[in-house]
Amino acid sequence: MQFTDSHCHLDDIAFSEQLPALLAQCQHLAINRIIVPAIAPDNFNQVLSLAKRHHGNPLKIYPCLGIHPWFLQALDESHLKQLSESVNKSRNDIVAVGEIGLDGAIAKNAEHNGQTPEDNWNHQKYFFDFQLNLAKQHNLPVIVHHRQSHDKIMPFLKRYKLDRAGIIHGFSGSYQQAKGYIDLGFKLGVGSTITYSRAQKTINTIKRLPLDCLVLETDAPSMPLSKEVLTHNQDNEQEENRITALSTASSEVNSPINLIKIFEVLTTIRPEKSDELANQLERNIEQVFFT
């Protein structure tokens, strides 16, 4: 079995010191591809150079460029121009436009920054629209962040009907919401959400969906796994303990290594055998990024 982390912020400072050891561990666990979205113009170069630096490695790192809705408060048209130029220049190196999206919690809390929720939505939507258009021009898939925003994201995706669609990252929601995305060709990112027993709605959705629309992701260093899953394997053989120690140096810091734990939880939710599940998840990655 081979695995791809379809969403990991590997350029994050949380990983910088232990990166060589971490990548070796990933490889040891057959995590052979890591997709690294950018979050703001500040980290475009980091993401691109991280991939270049590891170009010859068996574990492949694939960069994406985009502006995340959490980081666009102080950004304007000039930053979108910068993104556009970077995508032009690196079109053959990147595999998607991301991470982009709309975030309802950010809009709701905008008043703390002296902005009305409506103005904040408009700002977010302007950036989202621009980046969907950019993906369309370059025939790239997109990686979409959502939070309290399914109803706002859907009309944009319907309008753009991107040929290569993309991934709804860290999907949580109902079967109907999932179906809406799948009908537009999107895959859903399955991450740590399914390790929390309180996430029954999402777990039931993931259980019922066609397997060809799912991909695995960690979103590391964000989105830590539930404590139950993190401690579950600690009595196993030494190797397992070593890996757990590396991945949970701080239990709040998620790691790409946890992709395997997410996969293991997924095998308990899905009816398919592990091999079949892993193979199809890899085919889904091929379809989004490499065809």
The residues of the shown chain that bind Zn ion, judged by CB under 5 A, are: 99, 219
Query: Considering the complex, what minimum distance in angstroms separates the CB of residue 35 from Zn ion?
Result: 10
Type and span of the H or E element at 278: helix 274-289
- DSSP states along 144-204: EEEES-HHHHHHHHHHH--TT-EEETT--S-HHHHHHHHHTT-EEEE-GGGG-TT-HHHHH
> What is the rounded distance in angstroms from the CA atom of residue 141 to the CA atom of residue 258?
25
Distance, in Å, from the CA atom of 77 to the CA atom of 63, rounded to the nearest integer, reads 23
Comparing CB distances to Zn ion, the nearer of 47 and 277 is 47
- For 187-202, b/e burial (b = at least 16 CB within 10 A) is bbbbbbbbbbeebeeb
Nearer to Zn ion, 5 or 277 (CB): 5
Rounded least distance, CB 68 to Zn ion, Å: 7
Min dist CB 53 to Zn ion, Å, is 21
Residue (192 or 270) nearer to Zn ion, CB = 192
DSSP 143: E
The amino acid that residue 218 corresponds to is T
Query: What is the smallest separation between the CB atom of 34 and Zn ion, expressed in angstroms?
Result: 13
Q: Which is nearer to Zn ion, 224 or 277 (CB)?
A: 224
Cβ proximity to Zn ion, 169 vs 261, nearer residue: 169
CB of 217 to Zn ion, least distance (A): 8
How many Cβ atoms from other residues are within 10 Å of residue 64's Cβ?
28
